Structure formats: C-alpha cells, structure tokens
Structure 1
C-alpha cells in the first residue's frame, strides 16, 4: 500500500458516495477502499438496532454464504466489551479465536478465512455498527490494524450516506 494508492482510493470513495443513489454502491465503495488500505477476502457491514437489541447484515461481499437478511442478537461477549465499551477494533487472528466468539466459525473457515478485524463505527456517541474484514489466519497484524484507522472516517461517512439514501 502506497500513499498514492491510498490517496487514489480515498478520491474514488469520495466520488462514489457523492454520486451513487444506491445503498449498495456506498458499501461497495467502502469495500474497495478497505481492500486498498488493509485487505479482506470477506467484507461485511453490520448495523445495530439498539431498540431491539439486535444487529443486521446490511452488506456482504459473499451473499451466498452471508446473505443480507434477518437479524441476530447483539453478541455480548468479550467481543462486545472490546467493540462497544472500549471502542476498539476486535481482532482475532486464528480460527480458534474466532470460534470463541462467533458461532458461524465453520462457515468462516470454509471461505478460506481464519482472521477477523471488526471495526466499530461511532457517530454522535452512538455505535451505529461494524465494518467486518476477514482474511487468512494471522493476516491482521498490528501494522494492518493501525492502517485500518484510515477507514474510520470513511466508515462514518458511509453509514451516514446510507442513512441519507434510505430516508429518500
């Protein structure tokens, strides 16, 4: 990843959310930016519904394995402590560590992924959701997690752009 590649990816992301009229276009632009900055074999976005204590997948790069449908209870494990209370990204770099938190670890492993980086998205002191990147085991090194900080503002912009588009 070079500074030029990141700058070009940020310009492309900005142009995409400025012009798209489709929610999926916003998420695809964020995925493209994440691919340049940190990399992901599987990319998903979860939105939180605090009133109903659940989350819903709003975007996925693998709709067959991880469709955009339904809801699931908010995962109140050490994952939640890291993501919501400490407001830090959650990183698990082995399938064993993933299995400790996510019941769908077998599906994750079947896709050739064994590490995860979940990036929390906060706006107005409220967690809106997470941007989830998965790759091969041991992929999300401290350097990659540090680089992912460059996604933080873009993720906020994406969530707010989607909210705007959904309001019509």
Structure 2
C-alpha cells in the first residue's frame, strides 16, 4: 500500500460516508478501504449486543455463504480474550488455527480462505463489533496486521455512521 493509494482510498471512504443514505453503503465503503489497506477475499462486519450477549452479522461480501441474518452467542474462547479483554486483533493464519475457534471453518476453506484477521472496534470503552477479513493461508503477516491499524478510526466512523443511518 502506497501513501497515495491510502490517501485516495481514505478520501473515497470519507466521501462515501458523507453522501450515502444506506447502511450497506457505509460497510461497502469500509470494505473498499480495507481492500486497499490490507486485502480480504471475504469481508464481514459483526455487531455485538451486550444486553443479550449475542453478536450478529450486519454486512457480508458473500451473502450466499454468510447471510446477514440472525445472531449467535458470544464466542468465549481465546478469540474473545484476544479481542475483548486484550483489545488486540485476532489473527489465525492457517485453516487449522481457524478451525480451533470457528465452527464454520469448512465454509471458510471452501471460499479459498485460510487466514483471518478480526479487528475489534471499541467506542466509549465498549466493544461494538468486529471487522472480519479473511484471505489465503499465511496472508495476514505482521506487516499487514500493522497496516490494519489504519482501519481503526475508519471502522469507528463506519459503526457510528451505520448507527446514525439505522435510526433514520
């Protein structure tokens, strides 16, 4: 990722947030930025509902395999400890490591993905959700995870914009 590519992608993200009137447009803009910053074959957004201790997918790049519907209980494994307690991104770079945490690992593998980067999004001292990026095995190198820090503020803005649009 060059500085110019990042600046252009960030400008496009900003313009999309300023003009979109649909929640899906917010997430598509974040996905486009993530594609430039880190890269993802599969991109999803999960939102957390702490009152019910459930999470739900609110956006997906693959609606057939990962539809936006329903919720599931919080995944309280070392994944949860990493993203919620330690407030760090969760990275698994092999399908075996993914299988240790996610029961849908076979679907992930069928989509050609063998690594995952889950970026936790915190606002007002509470995790509101995760930005989930999946790609080939060993794709999320330390350099790519470091680059993903550039998504942190944009992810917060996207969650807030989506919440604003959902209230309209």
Q: TM-score when scaled to structure 2?
A: 1.00
Q: Distance between the aligned counterparts of 1:54 and 1:163, measured in 2?
A: 17
Structure 2 partner of 1:145: 145
Question: Any idea what the Cα deviations from partners look like across 1:5-57, whole Å, max 9, x if unmatched?
Answer: 00000000000001000000000000000000000000000000000010000
> How far, CA to CA, are the matches of 1:134 and 1:142 in structure 2?
15
1:131-142 equivalences in 2 (<5 Å)? 131-142=131-142
For residue 18 of structure 2, what is the aligned residue in structure 1? 18
Partner of 1:75: 75
Structure 1 equivalent of residue 34 of structure 2: 34
1:85 aligns with 2:85: yes
* Runs (5+) with no aligned partner, structure 2: none
Aligned partners of 1:73, 1:55: CA distance in 2, in Å?
A: 6
CA distance in 2, matches of 1:164, 1:70: 21
Counting matched residue pairs gives 168
Match of 1:160 in 2: 160
What CA distance in whole angstroms lies between the structure 1 residues aligned with 2:36 and 2:18? 20
Q: Could you say what secondary structure the match of 1:55 adopts?
A: strand
RMSD: 0.3
Residues 113-143 of structure 1, C-alpha deviations (whole Å, 9 max, x = no match): 0000000000000100000000000000000
Scaled by the length of structure 1, what TM-score is found? Answer: 1.00
Q: How does 1:109-124 map to 2 (within 5 A)?
A: 109-124=109-124
Runs (5+) with no aligned partner, structure 1 = none
Moved over 6 A (4+): none
